[in-house]
Amino acid sequence: MIIDLPSTSTSAINKALVDLRDSGGAVALGRVLTLVVVTDDAHAEDAIAAANEASREHPCRVLVLARGNKRGAARLDAQIRVGGDAGASEVVVLRAYGPLVEHGETTVVSLLLPDAPIVAWWPGAAPEDVGADPIGRIAQRRITDSAESRDPRKALEQRRGSYRAGDTDLAWTRLTNWRALLAAALDQPPFEPVSTITVAGAPDSPSTELLAAWLTAKLKAPVVRVRTKKGTGVHSVRLERRSGAVELIRPDQNVATLTQPGQPDRRMALARRPVKDCLTEELRRLDPDEVYGEVLADGLPKVGTKTLTERDAQRQGRLSPPGQAARQQAAAEAKSARVSRAMKRATPGEPTQRVGGTADPNVEHSENASERGTSPAEKVAAVKRTAATGRRAASSSSAAATTPGSSAPAGAAAGKTAAKKTAAKRTTAKKAAPAAGGSTGRTATRTAKKAGA
């Protein structure tokens, strides 16, 4: 819901907010902060859209101070947005004209949430000293974006000269994923010092400057800047070590390739982050970003203003050819697509049977080996033929056992005769054994008597 309040005052805006809470049930109890957005009237809608997305994670009151034409009479037009038009927040758009343009803080102060932190955000051009700005003085966090400046390098120098605890820049926030990947790569063995750092990026990218400053401040190694095409952002980082170079290349603005000695190349998503994601990340913390302050104070002066062209960097071995990186990435994507299509076309295989309970899944019964390539219908027909053959053999054996005049009685008689002959032989052997033993004993007695005589 959107409510327009033309030519209004801050007291009328507060009254309208109270009426909305009483009638519509919109409450301010769940708001965790007040986000003050200072912009111009032409870029207000883009800033409101980003703030609405960030408010889904951080419910807040968004006060948008859209500065209009300084000429003319003093006038304040307001617009209140709640519900689906404001995400998880309540948005108050203040369009100031005339002398009110230079006194926006007096308009904002009466609309702040009580006992809630204040975050100020300049999505476009920011004052040289944001900490000394009237709105910056009342804010705990001050967010700028050097990428929106005409001269990003000069804007970073201004941020460095006027830095106060609580300042941050979205150009630094866009490096979160780059810093995480490089730190994870250096946390793996071998733990060798970095001798040389090469950072390639566009000349209009302040994120490239901050990344080079962070690496040289933390790794204590010299850094070389390489210029790439404008609008490409950060292109690559190369860290030289004794065992080989660690290289992170993003040739297409979306997917990066990480190369390390002794390890296969790894591809990972590394797209350029939109403003809403960066703003959401910055609103997660209200304490000062100390690392950002150290990078501005210690790292940025070491980067310098001297840069190399891509051709010179390739000639010195500091930069891999961009075309080669793009071709390798395209080949890896094509291979991955082929493997994915093959997996989708593959059919489930037959279950493997094991011989004698063996744990080797590659040892199969000969029956399974012979049945490979046989259709299910053929297997069913073979089972039916085997069953029919078994029934015919069983019926033939039973018929032979019951038919008169068959050879079965003769076989039984022959068996009885053989048993009688065997029993007779055993009886004869038993009778002969004692007799033979007795005669042998008498012969031995007579021989002993003669020897004694």
Domains in the chain, number: 2
Whether residue 89 sits in one domain with residue 186: no
* pLDDT confidence of residue 392: 64
HSE on the CB side for 92, CA within 13 Å? 27
**Coil/strand/helix, residue 257:** strand
Whether residue 61 sits in one domain with residue 144: yes
- Does 401 map to a domain? no
Whether residue 194 sits in one domain with residue 332: yes
Residue 51 near residue 66 (C-beta atoms within 8 A):
no
Give dist(CA 285, CA 275) in Å, integer: 17
Whether residue 278 sits in one domain with residue 130: no
User: Among 314, 309, 308, 325, which Cα is nearest to 223's?
Assistant: 308
To 5 degrees, how large is the angle CA 302–CA 304–CA 307? 130
Give dist(CA 76, CA 104) in Å, integer: 10
245: left (phi over 0), alpha (psi -120 to 50) or beta: beta
Supply the mean pLDDT for the chain: 81
Query: CB count, 10 Å around CB of 339?
Result: 10
- Does 357 map to a domain? no
**Predicted confidence (pLDDT) per residue in 335-381, tens digit:** 777 788 888 887 776 554 444 444 444 444 444 444 445 556 666 67
* pLDDT confidence of residue 15: 92
pTM of whole model > 0.85? Answer: no
Whether residue 58 sits in one domain with residue 31: yes
- Does 422 map to a domain? no
Place of tokens 């990186």: 325
Strands 196-201 and 167-169 come out as unpaired
**Predicted confidence (pLDDT) per residue in 289-303, tens digit:** 999 999 999 999 999
* pLDDT confidence of residue 442: 46
Whether residue 52 sits in one domain with residue 144: yes
* pLDDT confidence of residue 212: 97
* pLDDT confidence of residue 325: 61
Whether residue 220 sits in one domain with residue 155: no
Whether residue 259 sits in one domain with residue 328: yes
Angle between helices 206-219 and 176-186 (to 10 degrees): 30
Whether residue 56 sits in one domain with residue 81: yes
Q: Which long-range contacts (CB under 8 A, 24 or more apart) does 387-394 make?
A: none
Say which CATH number the domain at 216 has: 3.30.360
Give dist(CA 354, CA 352) in Å, integer: 7
To 5 degrees, how large is the angle CA 336–CA 338–CA 343? 95
Whether residue 30 sits in one domain with residue 120: yes
- Does 353 map to a domain? no
pLDDT interval class at 324 (50, 70, 90): low
- What range does the domain containing 85 cover? 2-170
Residues, the chain, total? 453
Q: For residue 271, is pLDDT > 80? A: yes
Q: Map 360-393 to HEC letters.
A: CCCCCCHHHHHCCCCCHHHHHHHHHHHHHHHHHH
Query: CB count, 10 Å around CB of 398?
Result: 10
* pLDDT confidence of residue 70: 84
**Residue at which a domain ends, from 341, 360, 385:** 341
**Residue at which a domain ends, from 318, 341, 364:** 341
**Predicted confidence (pLDDT) per residue in 399-444, tens digit:** 444 444 444 444 444 445 555 555 555 555 445 444 444 444 444 4
- Element at 237 (helix H, strand E): strand 234-241
Whether residue 178 sits in one domain with residue 147: no
* pLDDT confidence of residue 327: 67
**Residue at which a domain ends, from 108, 143, 170:** 170
Q: For residue 448, is pLDDT > 50? A: no
* pLDDT confidence of residue 421: 57
